[in-house]
Structure 1
Amino acid sequence: MVKHLLALLSVGGGLLLAGCHLKKEALGSAENPIKFHLVPSVDAKVLSDNSKILKDYLEKNTPYKFQITIPQSFVAVVESFGTQRADVAAINTYGYYMAHKAYGVEARLTVIRYGLATYQSEFLARSDSKIKTLKDLHGKKMAFVDPASMSGYLLPLKTLHDKKIEPKATVFAMNHDAVVTMIYQGQVDAGAAYYSPPQDGQIEDARRLVKLQYPDVEQKVKIIELSEPIPNDPIVFRKDIPEEMKEKISDTLLQFVATPEGKKAMDLMLGATNLKKSTDADYDTVREMLKTMVPEKK
């Protein structure tokens, strides 16, 4: 009986070793598609619907196959690079800081929003509240986006720290539209989300995300103050992807956002009206800022 068991284990082990030596399919093939991750910054259905448009365009205009996924958090995207479950990602600025530091992930494109390659955070409160300035946020309950969100947490947190303002309590809404909704509904006293300047008389900051649900959001939720500007979110690549592949995908994304359908899809997914080529050096100012916010572990 023992001999039979050993024989079976020997055969199984041989098959396992043989499987380990099977050649992995080339990246970009149907069997091993390029794994493109989108951060969950807006409603999941909006991301899902528009990611299909992006996937179709990429596959029609490159020789590669793609798998576009929406992980649960910014941190999940970063971790995916460490286990080679992500090849490309549209990621938030802080997520890029972590992914580059840990895994050498490379920024190749930066989001442009209405002509600007930088962005700011906005502090919001209900228009009928007594909150008029940042000082009034001291001791109040605030909503933020995500602990890894630059515009929805780290950047406004730095502003509060610099001005020695301490909220009484904080909650994480996990996306920008949820922050605005919590303020609108009076669940919190104030909150922070991304800011983009108005265009053609229409708001383009985080409040626009809930205008269909709350048409009077501009009247009910006001901007208290803005933070300092930092570089917009990047689109990043796993460091060991072939250079030719990085260039082809980057160029195709630039072509995509130049089309009417692509511009609309990128705006809905990333709040992006355009893209520009970039490098890691463009994010040095972010690293300098984060040194004071996220001290190095010794």
Structure 2
Amino acid sequence: MSVSKKGLLGAGAVFMALTGLAVSTFGVMQATTANSISNQPVPNLLALKQKQLTVVFPSRSDSTDLQSKANAVASFLSKELGIPVKAQIGDDTAAVEALRANRADVAFLSSRPALKAEQLANARLYLAEVRENYSGRYTYNSIFVVPNNSPLKSKNTPKATLEQLRGKKMAFTSPTSGSGFIFPVSELVKQGFVPNRDRMDGFFSQISYGGNYSRALQAVVRGQADVAVVSEYALFPPYINAEEKSKLRVLHKISGVPAHGIAIDDDVNAVDRERIINALLKLNQTQNNQLLRNLYNSTELVRVDHNRHLAPVRDALTRIGIAP
């Protein structure tokens, strides 16, 4: 690993690279799960100085009591790998910084942070999450959502459908959200309605950011916005309840948003990386699967090619005027 690559940027710089907005929130909670053989000699599994594996589990709004669930996965991995495994909770920005600073070896990441992990830490995505409510198994849809009684209608072409949004009040999820900003803005650029992410006020009469899926959708439910963009799975609890969902409908879908996945740092050699991947894949087995489901409602982990999986988000970022 090159010191010049990983040693120059701090957590603040990583966060600015991801969002340009604020500072990281990593390190608030952490726990170490020692395996049952912690008093015995520890095998030197990793080509690292420390004799343990550190995995970062980013906090997400659809996961409660995440620390204890992450600890359970860490305990499982510890038994499989024969070394202590530490589970840390933080946001995506902090996960990237931990990989860059060699404070973590593995991290669960969404697509854009995964690109930053590659750029800043030379980490790569090796596994992707599958969910029952992902339309593409390990890809999902970004959706434009309107009130049930909206005059806006789905047309024969994306251009005709999205043309109706001119002059409307738009609620994005956040400027860093793939399905809630990057992919829908990319589609608007592709169709010729806006030139880039910074020049949308000439198309929409009002632009707001909910901060998460729930608030973006509730802005539409409450009449504060005419349309919101979110992930397709945000139309289910815990993001909104059945009553709120009954007041909404999907106007337009954009397919192919890459699912969240698991990145491994380049400090882990190829042989040891394969052992880690195989241990994680054992979470797919019936007797272990609940551990995986408890984390982020994922049902399965699948191998993916880093470049191929993340190509759609690279293209979308480039189109809207953000360096991948």
TM-score range, shorter chain: 0.7 to 0.9
Confirm or deny that 1:277 pairs with 2:303.
Answer: yes
* Superposition CA RMSD, Å: 3.1
Matching of residue 118 in structure 1 with residue 139 in structure 2: yes
Return the match for 1:188 from 201, 208, 225: 225
What is the aligned partner in structure 2 of residue 6 from structure 1? none
The answer to whether the aligner puts 1:128 opposite 2:149 as a matched pair is yes
Q: Give the letter for the 1:272 counterpart.
A: S
Deviation at 1:239, TM superposition (A): 0.9
Secondary structure (helix, strand or coil) at the match of 1:120 reads strand
State the secondary structure of the residue aligned to 2:126.
Answer: strand
Moved more, 127-136 or 148-157: 127-136
SS state of the match for residue 90, structure 2?
Answer: coil
CA distance in 2, matches of 1:35, 1:93: 20
Cα deviation, residue 187, structure 1: 4.1
1:229 matched to 2:277? The reply is no
Task: State the one-letter code of the partner of 2:189.
Answer: H
TM-score of the aligned structures, taking structure 1 as reference length? 0.73
Paired-residue identity, % = 22
Match in the other structure for 2:238:
210
- Residue 251 of structure 1 and its aligned partner are, at CA, apart by 1.2
> Partners in 2 of 1:190 and 1:293 — Cα distance?
20
Paired amino acid for 1:208: F
* C-alpha contact (below 8 Å) 1:109/1:275 kept by paired residues: yes
Mean Cα deviation higher: 128-137 or 54-63: 128-137
TM-score by length of 2: 0.68
Pairing 1:64–2:71 present: no
Give structure 1 stretches of 5+ with no counterpart.
1-25, 196-204
CA 1:79–1:54 in structure 2 vs 1: closer, same or farther (change >3 Å)?
Answer: same
- Structure 1 partner of 2:187: 159
Distance in 2 of aligned mates of 1:116 and 1:169: 34
Does the Cα contact within 8 Å between 1:145 and 1:172 map onto a contact in 2? yes
Q: Is the 8 A contact 2:143 2:231 kept in 1?
A: yes
TM-aligned CA distance change 1:210 to 1:283, over 3 Å: closer
Q: For residues 167 and 309 of structure 2, what CA distance do their matches in structure 1 show? A: 33
CA offsets 1:168-207 (integer angstroms, 9 cap, x no match): 3433334334433443344433222222xxxxxxxxx211
- 8 Å Cα contact 1:41-1:176 kept in structure 2: no
Q: Which one of the candidate residues 260, 263, 267 is aligned to 1:240? A: 267
CA distance change for structure 1 residues 32 and 126 in 2, over 3 Å: closer, same or farther? farther
Structure 1 counterpart of 2:282? 255
Give the corresponding residue for 2:127: 109
Q: Which of the two has higher C-alpha Rg?
A: 1
Given that residues 111 and 275 in structure 1 are in contact (C-alpha distance below 8 angstroms), is that contact kept between their aligned partners in structure 2?
A: yes
What is the CA-CA distance between 1:90 and the residue it aligns to? Answer: 1.3
2:19 maps to which residue?
Answer: none
For the residue of structure 2 that corresponds to 1:57, the secondary structure is helix
CA distance in structure 2 between the aligned counterparts of 1:179 and 1:260, rounded to whole angstroms:
37
Deviations 1:42-83 (A, max 9, x none): 2452534532332232223221322323323x3332223222
Does the aligned pair in 2 maintain the 1:92–1:149 contact within 8 Å? Answer: no
Match for 2:210: what amino acid?
A
Say whether 1:92 aligns with 2:92. no
Q: Secondary structure at the match of 1:125?
A: strand
Count of equivalent residues: 260
1:101 to 1:161, Cα distance in 2 relative to 1, 3 A? same
- Contact 1:141–1:189, Cα closer than 8 Å, also in 2: yes
In structure 2, the gaps of 5 or more residues are: 1-43, 154-160, 195-202
What code does the residue aligned with 1:51 have?
A: A
Q: Specify which structure has the higher proportion of helix.
A: 1
